Amino acid sequence: MSARPVKVVAVTGGKGGVGKTNVSVNLSLALSQLEQRVVLMDADLGLANVDVMMGLSPKMNISDVLAGDCALRDVLIPVNEYFGIVPASSGTQEMTTLSVHEHAELIHAFSEFADEIDVLVIDTAAGISESVVSFVRAAQEVLVVVCDEPTSITDAYALMKLLNRDYQTTRFRVLANMVRSEQEGRNMFAKLQTVTDRFLEVTLQYVGSIPYDESVRKAVQRQLAVLEAFPKSKAALAYRQLATKVDAWPVLNTPRGHLEFFVERLVRSN
Protein backbone atom coordinates (compact mmCIF):
# COMPACT_ATOMS: atom_id res chain seq x y z
CA MET A 1 0.00 0.00 0.00
CA SER A 2 1.29 3.49 -0.80
CA ALA A 3 2.57 5.42 2.19
CA ARG A 4 0.01 8.21 2.05
CA PRO A 5 -3.53 8.60 0.74
CA VAL A 6 -4.33 10.39 -2.52
CA LYS A 7 -7.67 11.99 -3.36
CA VAL A 8 -8.88 10.59 -6.71
CA VAL A 9 -11.56 12.66 -8.48
CA ALA A 10 -13.19 11.50 -11.73
CA VAL A 11 -14.70 14.33 -13.79
CA THR A 12 -17.41 12.93 -16.03
CA GLY A 13 -20.81 13.74 -17.47
CA GLY A 14 -22.08 11.19 -19.94
CA LYS A 15 -22.64 13.68 -22.72
CA GLY A 16 -19.90 15.33 -24.77
CA GLY A 17 -19.80 19.11 -25.03
CA VAL A 18 -20.66 19.90 -21.41
CA GLY A 19 -17.24 21.44 -20.75
CA LYS A 20 -15.86 18.51 -18.82
CA THR A 21 -12.24 18.97 -19.94
CA ASN A 22 -12.40 22.69 -19.19
CA VAL A 23 -13.59 21.82 -15.70
CA SER A 24 -10.81 19.26 -15.25
CA VAL A 25 -8.08 21.66 -16.35
CA ASN A 26 -9.25 24.69 -14.39
CA LEU A 27 -10.13 22.70 -11.27
CA SER A 28 -6.66 21.13 -11.30
CA LEU A 29 -5.00 24.49 -11.76
CA ALA A 30 -7.11 26.09 -9.02
CA LEU A 31 -6.22 23.24 -6.63
CA SER A 32 -2.54 23.78 -7.41
CA GLN A 33 -2.98 27.45 -6.49
CA LEU A 34 -4.06 26.17 -3.07
CA GLU A 35 -0.68 24.39 -2.99
CA GLN A 36 -2.25 21.00 -3.51
CA ARG A 37 0.02 18.74 -5.55
CA VAL A 38 -2.13 17.71 -8.50
CA VAL A 39 -1.75 15.36 -11.45
CA LEU A 40 -4.38 15.57 -14.20
CA MET A 41 -4.72 12.41 -16.25
CA ASP A 42 -6.34 12.69 -19.67
CA ALA A 43 -8.41 9.50 -19.68
CA ASP A 44 -10.05 10.20 -23.03
CA LEU A 45 -7.67 7.60 -24.35
CA GLY A 46 -8.67 7.80 -28.01
CA LEU A 47 -9.55 11.48 -28.45
CA ALA A 48 -7.31 13.26 -25.99
CA ASN A 49 -7.50 17.05 -25.83
CA VAL A 50 -6.17 18.25 -22.46
CA ASP A 51 -2.79 18.97 -24.04
CA VAL A 52 -4.46 20.87 -26.90
CA MET A 53 -6.49 22.96 -24.47
CA MET A 54 -3.32 23.83 -22.57
CA GLY A 55 -1.28 24.62 -25.69
CA LEU A 56 1.14 21.76 -25.04
CA SER A 57 2.96 19.57 -27.57
CA PRO A 58 3.88 16.35 -25.75
CA LYS A 59 6.57 14.19 -27.32
CA MET A 60 5.31 11.11 -25.48
CA ASN A 61 2.00 10.08 -23.95
CA ILE A 62 0.24 7.25 -22.16
CA SER A 63 0.44 4.94 -25.19
CA ASP A 64 4.24 5.09 -24.95
CA VAL A 65 4.05 4.05 -21.30
CA LEU A 66 1.87 1.05 -22.16
CA ALA A 67 4.22 0.10 -24.98
CA GLY A 68 7.04 -0.02 -22.45
CA ASP A 69 8.99 2.72 -24.20
CA CYS A 70 9.14 5.00 -21.17
CA ALA A 71 8.00 5.46 -17.58
CA LEU A 72 4.98 7.52 -16.60
CA ARG A 73 7.30 10.10 -15.08
CA ASP A 74 8.78 10.65 -18.55
CA VAL A 75 5.44 11.75 -20.02
CA LEU A 76 4.38 13.98 -17.11
CA ILE A 77 4.30 17.62 -18.27
CA PRO A 78 4.78 20.15 -15.44
CA VAL A 79 2.46 23.15 -15.60
CA ASN A 80 3.67 24.78 -12.41
CA GLU A 81 5.38 23.77 -9.17
CA TYR A 82 2.28 21.88 -7.97
CA PHE A 83 0.52 20.76 -11.15
CA GLY A 84 1.39 18.28 -13.88
CA ILE A 85 -0.48 16.69 -16.80
CA VAL A 86 -0.31 13.15 -18.11
CA PRO A 87 -1.40 13.39 -21.78
CA ALA A 88 -3.14 10.64 -23.73
CA SER A 89 -2.99 9.85 -27.43
CA SER A 90 -5.46 11.16 -29.99
CA GLY A 91 -6.83 9.24 -32.96
CA THR A 92 -5.54 5.89 -31.70
CA GLN A 93 -8.29 3.29 -31.84
CA GLU A 94 -6.32 0.74 -29.80
CA MET A 95 -6.31 3.05 -26.79
CA THR A 96 -10.10 2.94 -26.55
CA THR A 97 -10.15 -0.84 -26.07
CA LEU A 98 -7.50 -1.50 -23.45
CA SER A 99 -7.36 -4.93 -21.88
CA VAL A 100 -7.76 -5.53 -18.15
CA HIS A 101 -4.01 -5.89 -17.86
CA GLU A 102 -3.36 -2.65 -19.75
CA HIS A 103 -5.83 -0.73 -17.60
CA ALA A 104 -4.12 -2.08 -14.51
CA GLU A 105 -0.67 -1.23 -15.84
CA LEU A 106 -1.81 2.28 -16.67
CA ILE A 107 -3.09 3.07 -13.21
CA HIS A 108 -0.41 1.08 -11.42
CA ALA A 109 2.14 3.35 -13.06
CA PHE A 110 0.75 6.15 -10.91
CA SER A 111 1.93 4.39 -7.77
CA GLU A 112 5.38 5.90 -8.32
CA PHE A 113 3.79 9.31 -7.64
CA ALA A 114 1.83 8.20 -4.57
CA ASP A 115 4.09 9.98 -2.13
CA GLU A 116 4.37 13.09 -4.27
CA ILE A 117 0.78 14.08 -5.06
CA ASP A 118 -2.31 15.04 -3.10
CA VAL A 119 -4.97 14.87 -5.81
CA LEU A 120 -5.31 12.77 -8.98
CA VAL A 121 -7.92 14.26 -11.34
CA ILE A 122 -9.22 11.93 -14.07
CA ASP A 123 -10.72 13.62 -17.13
CA THR A 124 -12.89 10.86 -18.58
CA ALA A 125 -14.15 10.47 -22.12
CA ALA A 126 -17.75 11.25 -23.06
CA GLY A 127 -20.35 8.51 -23.04
CA ILE A 128 -20.76 5.42 -20.89
CA SER A 129 -18.20 3.10 -22.45
CA GLU A 130 -16.45 0.40 -20.42
CA SER A 131 -13.39 2.62 -20.15
CA VAL A 132 -15.39 5.55 -18.73
CA VAL A 133 -17.22 3.33 -16.26
CA SER A 134 -13.96 1.69 -15.17
CA PHE A 135 -12.29 4.98 -14.31
CA VAL A 136 -15.36 6.49 -12.67
CA ARG A 137 -16.21 3.59 -10.41
CA ALA A 138 -12.59 3.20 -9.33
CA ALA A 139 -12.36 6.83 -8.17
CA GLN A 140 -13.20 7.98 -4.65
CA GLU A 141 -15.12 11.05 -5.83
CA VAL A 142 -17.33 11.36 -8.91
CA LEU A 143 -17.92 14.90 -10.16
CA VAL A 144 -20.73 14.89 -12.75
CA VAL A 145 -20.77 17.94 -15.03
CA VAL A 146 -24.13 18.98 -16.50
CA CYS A 147 -25.30 21.89 -18.64
CA ASP A 148 -28.72 23.24 -19.54
CA GLU A 149 -29.56 20.81 -22.34
CA PRO A 150 -32.11 17.99 -22.07
CA THR A 151 -29.56 15.50 -23.42
CA SER A 152 -27.07 16.52 -20.74
CA ILE A 153 -29.53 15.67 -17.96
CA THR A 154 -30.63 12.40 -19.57
CA ASP A 155 -27.05 11.28 -20.28
CA ALA A 156 -25.92 12.14 -16.75
CA TYR A 157 -28.85 10.13 -15.41
CA ALA A 158 -27.97 7.20 -17.68
CA LEU A 159 -24.41 7.17 -16.34
CA MET A 160 -25.61 7.28 -12.74
CA LYS A 161 -28.17 4.57 -13.39
CA LEU A 162 -25.54 2.26 -14.86
CA LEU A 163 -23.11 2.85 -12.01
CA ASN A 164 -25.79 2.46 -9.36
CA ARG A 165 -27.45 -0.62 -10.87
CA ASP A 166 -24.35 -2.57 -11.87
CA TYR A 167 -21.72 -1.36 -9.39
CA GLN A 168 -23.71 -0.03 -6.42
CA THR A 169 -22.25 3.48 -6.68
CA THR A 170 -24.46 5.58 -4.42
CA ARG A 171 -22.92 9.07 -4.20
CA PHE A 172 -22.38 11.65 -6.90
CA ARG A 173 -21.36 15.29 -6.74
CA VAL A 174 -22.95 17.51 -9.40
CA LEU A 175 -21.54 20.66 -11.01
CA ALA A 176 -23.71 22.86 -13.25
CA ASN A 177 -21.62 24.36 -16.05
CA MET A 178 -22.16 27.36 -18.35
CA VAL A 179 -25.14 28.70 -16.40
CA ARG A 180 -26.69 32.11 -16.90
CA SER A 181 -27.45 32.43 -13.19
CA GLU A 182 -26.94 30.54 -9.96
CA GLN A 183 -30.67 29.78 -9.95
CA GLU A 184 -30.37 28.14 -13.36
CA GLY A 185 -27.73 25.84 -11.93
CA ARG A 186 -29.90 24.91 -8.97
CA ASN A 187 -32.85 24.29 -11.31
CA MET A 188 -30.72 21.88 -13.38
CA PHE A 189 -29.70 20.04 -10.25
CA ALA A 190 -33.34 19.87 -9.12
CA LYS A 191 -34.36 18.29 -12.44
CA LEU A 192 -31.71 15.63 -12.11
CA GLN A 193 -32.44 14.99 -8.46
CA THR A 194 -36.16 14.61 -9.12
CA VAL A 195 -35.45 11.73 -11.51
CA THR A 196 -32.79 10.06 -9.38
CA ASP A 197 -34.93 10.28 -6.23
CA ARG A 198 -37.73 8.53 -8.08
CA PHE A 199 -35.81 5.73 -9.73
CA LEU A 200 -32.38 5.31 -8.09
CA GLU A 201 -30.96 4.70 -4.64
CA VAL A 202 -28.34 7.43 -4.83
CA THR A 203 -27.35 10.61 -3.02
CA LEU A 204 -26.60 13.73 -5.07
CA GLN A 205 -24.68 16.71 -3.73
CA TYR A 206 -24.80 20.03 -5.54
CA VAL A 207 -21.30 21.54 -5.47
CA GLY A 208 -22.15 24.77 -7.30
CA SER A 209 -21.97 26.20 -10.79
CA ILE A 210 -19.63 27.75 -13.33
CA PRO A 211 -21.18 30.75 -15.08
CA TYR A 212 -21.39 31.18 -18.83
CA ASP A 213 -18.50 33.51 -19.51
CA GLU A 214 -17.08 34.69 -22.83
CA SER A 215 -13.69 34.66 -21.12
CA VAL A 216 -13.77 30.85 -21.24
CA ARG A 217 -14.22 30.80 -25.01
CA LYS A 218 -11.44 33.37 -25.46
CA ALA A 219 -9.14 31.37 -23.20
CA VAL A 220 -9.79 28.19 -25.21
CA GLN A 221 -8.92 30.05 -28.40
CA ARG A 222 -5.64 31.10 -26.78
CA GLN A 223 -5.08 27.50 -25.59
CA LEU A 224 -4.95 28.64 -21.99
CA ALA A 225 -6.93 27.87 -18.86
CA VAL A 226 -9.31 30.70 -18.05
CA LEU A 227 -7.60 30.96 -14.66
CA GLU A 228 -4.40 31.87 -16.49
CA ALA A 229 -5.82 33.99 -19.29
CA PHE A 230 -8.48 35.85 -17.31
CA PRO A 231 -7.82 35.32 -13.59
CA LYS A 232 -10.36 38.00 -12.56
CA SER A 233 -13.22 36.67 -14.71
CA LYS A 234 -16.44 35.30 -13.26
CA ALA A 235 -15.55 31.78 -14.40
CA ALA A 236 -12.10 31.96 -12.80
CA LEU A 237 -13.65 33.06 -9.51
CA ALA A 238 -16.13 30.16 -9.68
CA TYR A 239 -13.32 27.66 -10.31
CA ARG A 240 -11.42 28.93 -7.28
CA GLN A 241 -14.57 28.51 -5.18
CA LEU A 242 -15.02 24.99 -6.54
CA ALA A 243 -11.40 24.12 -5.74
CA THR A 244 -11.90 25.28 -2.15
CA LYS A 245 -14.83 22.88 -1.83
CA VAL A 246 -12.94 19.98 -3.42
CA ASP A 247 -9.96 20.69 -1.19
CA ALA A 248 -12.26 20.28 1.84
CA TRP A 249 -13.49 16.84 0.75
CA PRO A 250 -11.99 14.28 3.14
CA VAL A 251 -9.04 12.17 2.08
CA LEU A 252 -9.63 8.56 3.04
CA ASN A 253 -6.76 7.18 5.09
CA THR A 254 -8.08 3.68 4.44
CA PRO A 255 -7.37 1.18 1.64
CA ARG A 256 -9.86 3.10 -0.54
CA GLY A 257 -7.77 6.23 -0.17
CA HIS A 258 -4.66 4.66 -1.68
CA LEU A 259 -3.77 4.32 -5.35
CA GLU A 260 -3.36 0.56 -5.08
CA PHE A 261 -7.05 0.33 -4.21
CA PHE A 262 -7.79 2.38 -7.33
CA VAL A 263 -5.81 -0.18 -9.37
CA GLU A 264 -7.68 -3.11 -7.83
CA ARG A 265 -11.07 -1.51 -8.45
CA LEU A 266 -10.12 -0.76 -12.03
CA VAL A 267 -9.13 -4.37 -12.66
CA ARG A 268 -12.26 -5.77 -11.01
CA SER A 269 -14.47 -3.51 -13.13
CA ASN A 270 -13.26 -5.13 -16.37
- Let me know: does 218 contact 230? Beta carbons within 8 Å: yes
Residue 115 contacts residue 3 (beta carbons within 8 Å): yes
Q: Distance (Å, rounded) from C-alpha 16 to C-alpha 135? A: 17
The span from the CA of 199 to the CA of 249, in Å, is 27
What's the pLDDT band for 23 if we cut at 50, 70, 90? Answer: very high
For residue 178, report the phi and psi dihedrals to the nearest 5 degrees. Answer: 60, 45
Q: Where are the alpha helices (DSSP H) in 113-213?
A: 130-138, 150-167, 182-199
Domain boundaries, the chain: 7-268
Q: Per residue in 64-109, pLDDT tens?
A: 887 788 888 899 999 999 999 999 876 454 555 666 667 667 666 7
Please give the model's pTM, rounded to 2 decimal places: 0.90
pLDDT in tens, 215-243: 999 999 999 999 999 999 999 999 999 99
Q: What is the mean pLDDT of residues 110-131?
A: 84
d(CA 53, CA 214): 16
Q: What is the pLDDT of residues 169-201, one digit of tens each?
A: 999 999 999 999 999 999 999 999 999 999 999
What CA dihedral angle connects 24, 27, 31 and 36, to 10 degrees?
A: -10
Q: Which fold has domain 7-268?
A: Rossmann fold (3.40.50)
